[in-house]
């Protein structure tokens, strides 16, 4: 197997009339998805997208999955963009990609036209016309290799420019072959898709559906603010499986949504993205005592997840939830600062991963790639790339791997992976602001910004809103007379944090 | 009103009457509003109150808070 399109084609063969994807307004069967994707792919042939990125500025939905598969049929790889992101950020991404075509929904056309993008804009309707060019598509497929890119996902970069993680067909196939079997996902499942499609969590929903023939129900984003509407949706659509960001599960528990309704068919809840707070986990388990709960761990760079832990015992708040064991065909281990393997319990080491799950690096960014994807220092005999996650892990007394903390200033906030450095870069661009820095208040789940300069919160937010997505904008602003500095002349973050803590009390 | 302006400085809460229906408030801001209301007024919004109709305008929000306090 060398292309994920084989998943789609097998399911179209086995379940031609079964619903593959459904959103609020429409749905499509596996056979229609395949046919339409082939038509789209055929129209894209003349645009010459073989092994080239094709940005897609569309909301997730039935039409969007057709476009994504169409791009793959044409030999290209898709890059999902979020139209609610600031223009500046979208432009940074497009500059990195150097794409010559972009597919844009009619709702997003105005945004697309306002971007400094010199390539041509294509609408989905233009592509969904005519017949499939079977000969043309076959030629593309014959020339394809499984190490060709399938998608690029952008994630926060500490230098102020988002990094594009390039993932191949091979990595997704490698992961999917284990993922659905281990957790028993099959054609009888109904997958409730929460994750936005420019997020790696969504890869599990999309390809688990395509592989097994399970239906993917795309949950409208707006429902996540309104628990009754959300739970009605899950119930009505018969959702059996949630593979959600931790923050999305926490929304439901925070708003006490399950007190209103527990969807009857729900049997599996999997979560990832950040550490699951035990209090919220226990809330879910109380309402769904029979369901399987799985903690999944892994950054985008190793394709979805590299470890899993199926909950087999009770946890009380304060206990550490294991991230468990490695998926088959992946090696997950800890390295200390001198590059030696850590095997003793309760000792910290950086979580490192090797295997075909590894991404192909960051798009058009060899320097960043070489920093994170390196030769395994334990292997001096032959080439073996590992990805250094920057996460610190420890083994507990049972030998289960647990996440401990970060090595750098990356944080997880509302399900998003954020480099504080990227926010600080944006702060530097705010006119009138002398100096600014930020840190994360884990306890209250807030990004705190300390700044020096004659500006108020409103002015800073307005400026940051042009540079950063909403979830990266600090929640608390504190103006300081002068920035405390360390001996080396750097901003003394520790002093600011201590000051903030005393002030809070 | 201060809470609302703190969370979304760009929105005109005096005049907007379809904050949710017209997608003026992001899901992110709605959640912030809920948590701030819970803290500031010492109430706990139940799922039955967290519906679009109660979040469409500053007035609707205020009415809901008064009902809960009353």
Nearest Cα neighbor of A71 from A148, A2, A19, A15 is: A148
Question: What's residue A505's pLDDT?
Answer: 59
Question: What's residue B2's pLDDT?
Answer: 72
Q: Which domain holds residue A132?
A: 1-144
ipTM attached to this prediction: 0.87
Question: What's residue A1's pLDDT?
Answer: 93
Shortest Cα–Cα distance, B36 to chain A (Å): 12
Question: What's residue B33's pLDDT?
Answer: 86
> Do residue A341 and residue A222 come from a single domain?
no
Whether pLDDT at B7 is above 80:
no
| CATH label of the domain that carries residue A44 | 3.40.50.980
Shortest Cα–Cα distance, B9 to chain A (Å): 6
Tokens read off for A129: 């016309």
With an 8 Å Cβ cutoff, are B6 and A457 in contact? Answer: yes
Burial A180-209 (b: 16+ CB within 10 A, else e): beebebeeebbbbbbbbbbbbbbbbbbbbb
Phi, psi dihedrals of residue A327, rounded to the nearest 5°: -65, 155
Read off the pTM. Answer: 0.91
**What residues of B are in contact with residue A228 (Cβ under 8 Å)?**
47-48, 50-51
The answer to whether position A303 is within a domain reads no
pLDDT per residue as tens digits for the range A395-433: 999 999 999 988 888 998 888 899 998 999 899 889 888
- Enumerate the domain spans of chain B: 2-6+16-69
Q: Chain A within 8 Å of B26 (Cβ-Cβ)?
A: yes
**What residues of B are in contact with residue A475 (Cβ under 8 Å)?**
32
Last residue of a domain, one of A388, A406, A424: A406
Q: Answer whether A448's CB lies under 8 Å from A441's CB.
A: yes
Q: In which band, very low, low, confident or very high, does the pLDDT at A47 lie, cut at 50, 70 and 90?
A: very high
pLDDT per residue as tens digits for the range A247-291: 899 999 988 999 999 999 999 999 998 889 899 999 999 999 999
Q: Which long-range contacts (CB under 8 A, 24 or more apart) does A204-209 make?
A: A204/A179, A204/A243, A204/A270, A204/A304, A204/A305, A205/A243, A206/A65, A206/A68, A207/A4, A207/A7, A207/A172, A207/A176, A208/A176, A208/A179, A208/A180, A208/A243, A209/A20, A209/A21
Q: Within 10 Å of residue A240's Cβ, how many Cβ atoms? A: 22
What is the four-CA torsion angle of B54, B55, B56, B62, rounded to 10 degrees? Answer: 70
Question: What's residue B45's pLDDT?
Answer: 87
Q: Chain A within 8 Å of B14 (Cβ-Cβ)?
A: no
pLDDT per residue as tens digits for the range A139-187: 999 999 999 999 999 999 888 899 999 999 999 999 999 999 999 999 9
CA–CA separation, A264 and A486 (whole Å)? 57
Question: What's residue A202's pLDDT?
Answer: 97
Higher per-residue pLDDT: A204 or A225? A204
Burial A76-98 (b: 16+ CB within 10 A, else e): bbbbbbbbbbbeebbebbbebbe
> Do residue A355 and residue A428 come from a single domain?
no
**What residues of B are in contact with residue A416 (Cβ under 8 Å)?**
none
A76 contact partners, CB below 8 Å, separation of at least 6: A44, A49, A50, A51, A52, A53, A54
The answer to whether position A202 is within a domain reads yes
> Do residue A281 and residue A382 come from a single domain?
no
Question: What's residue A291's pLDDT?
Answer: 98
Shortest Cα–Cα distance, B38 to chain A (Å): 11
Question: What's residue A204's pLDDT?
Answer: 98
> Do residue A437 and residue A490 come from a single domain?
yes
pLDDT per residue as tens digits for the range A436-487: 999 999 888 889 999 998 988 888 998 999 999 989 999 899 998 888 888 7
> Do residue A241 and residue A127 come from a single domain?
no
Question: What's residue B43's pLDDT?
Answer: 86
> Do residue A285 and residue A371 come from a single domain?
no
Picking from B10, B27, B56, B60 by the largest number of A CB atoms within 10 A of its own CB, the best residue to mutate is: B27
| CATH label of the domain that carries residue A385 | 2.30.38.10
**What residues of A are in contact with residue B30 (Cβ under 8 Å)?**
225
Whether pLDDT at A39 is above 90:
yes
Q: Chain A within 8 Å of B65 (Cβ-Cβ)?
A: no
Domain count, chain A: 4
With an 8 Å Cβ cutoff, are B9 and A221 in contact? Answer: no
Instruction: Tell me the H-state helices in A306-379.
Output: 366-372
pLDDT per residue as tens digits for the range A372-400: 999 999 999 999 999 999 999 999 999 99
> Do residue A125 and residue A12 come from a single domain?
yes
């Amino acid at each position: 197997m060398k292309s994920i399109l084989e998943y789609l084609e097998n399911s179209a063969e086995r379940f031609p009339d079964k619903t593959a994807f459904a959103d609020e307004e429409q749905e499509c069967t596996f056979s229609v998805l395949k046919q339409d994707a082939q038509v789209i792919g055929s129209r894209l042939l003349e645009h010459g997208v073989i092994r080239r990125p094709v940005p897609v500025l569309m909301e997730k939905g039935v039409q969007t999955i057709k476009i994504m598969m169409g791009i793959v049929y044409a030999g290209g790889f898709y890059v999902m963009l979020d139209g609610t992101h600031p223009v500046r950020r979208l432009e940074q991404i497009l500059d990195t990609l150097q794409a010559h075509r972009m597919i844009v929904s009619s709702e997003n056309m105005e945004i697309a036209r306002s971007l400094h993008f010199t390539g041509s804009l294509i609408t989905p309707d233009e592509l969904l016309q005519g017949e499939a060019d079977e000969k043309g598509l076959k030629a593309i497929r014959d020339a394809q290799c499984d190490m060709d890119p399938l998608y690029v996902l952008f994630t926060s970069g500490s230098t102020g420019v988002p990094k594009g993680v390039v993932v191949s067909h091979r990595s997704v196939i490698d992961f999917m072959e284990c993922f659905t079997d281990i957790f028993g996902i099959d054609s009888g499942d109904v997958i409730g898709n929460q994750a936005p499609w420019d997020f790696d969590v969504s890869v599990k929903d999309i390809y688990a559906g395509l592989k097994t023939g399970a239906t993917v129900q795309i949950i409208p984003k707006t429902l996540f603010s309104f628990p009754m509407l959300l739970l009605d949706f899950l119930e009505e659509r018969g959702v059996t499986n949630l593979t959600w960001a931790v923050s999305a599960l926490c929304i439901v528990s925070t708003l006490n949504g399950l007190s209103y309704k527990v969807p009857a068919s729900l049997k599996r809840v999997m979560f990832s993205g950040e550490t699951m707070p035990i209090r919220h986990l226990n809330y879910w388990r109380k309402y769904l005592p029979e369901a399987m709960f799985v903690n999944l761990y892994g950054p985008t760079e190793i394709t979805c997840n590299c470890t899993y832990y199926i909950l087999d015992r009770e946890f009380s708040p304060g206990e550490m939830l294991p991230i468990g064991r490695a998926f088959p065909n992946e090696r997950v281990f800890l390295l200390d600062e001198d590059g030696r393997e850590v095997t003793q319990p309760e000792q910290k080491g950086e979580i490192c991963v090797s295997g075909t799950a590894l991404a192909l690096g960051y798009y058009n960014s060899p320097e960043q790639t070489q920093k994170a994807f390196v030769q395994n220092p334990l292997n001096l005999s032959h080439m073996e790339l590992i990805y250094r996650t920057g996460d610190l892990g420890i083994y507990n007394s049972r030998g289960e791997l647990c996440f401990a903390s970060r090595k750098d200033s990356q944080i997880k906030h509302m399900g998003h992976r954020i480099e504080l450095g990227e926010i600080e870069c944006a702060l530097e661009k705010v006119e009138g602001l002398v100096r600014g820095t930020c840190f994360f208040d884990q306890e209250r789940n807030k990004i705190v910004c300390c700044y020096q300069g004659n500006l108020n919160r409103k002015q800073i937010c307005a400026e940051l809103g042009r540079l950063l997505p909403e979830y990266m904008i600090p929640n608390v602003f504190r103006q300081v007379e002068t920035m405390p500095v360390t001996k080396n002349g750097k901003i003394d973050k520790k002093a600011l944090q201590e000051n903030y803590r005393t002030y809070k009390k | 009103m201060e809470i609302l302006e703190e969370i979304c400085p760009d929105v005109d809460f005096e005049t907007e009457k379809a904050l949710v229906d017209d997608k003026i408030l992001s899901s992110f801001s709605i959640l912030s509003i809920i948590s701030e209301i819970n803290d500031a007024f010492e109430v706990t919004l139940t799922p039955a109150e967290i519906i679009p109709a109660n979040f469409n305008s500053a007035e609707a929000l205020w009415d809901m808070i008064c009902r809960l306090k009353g």
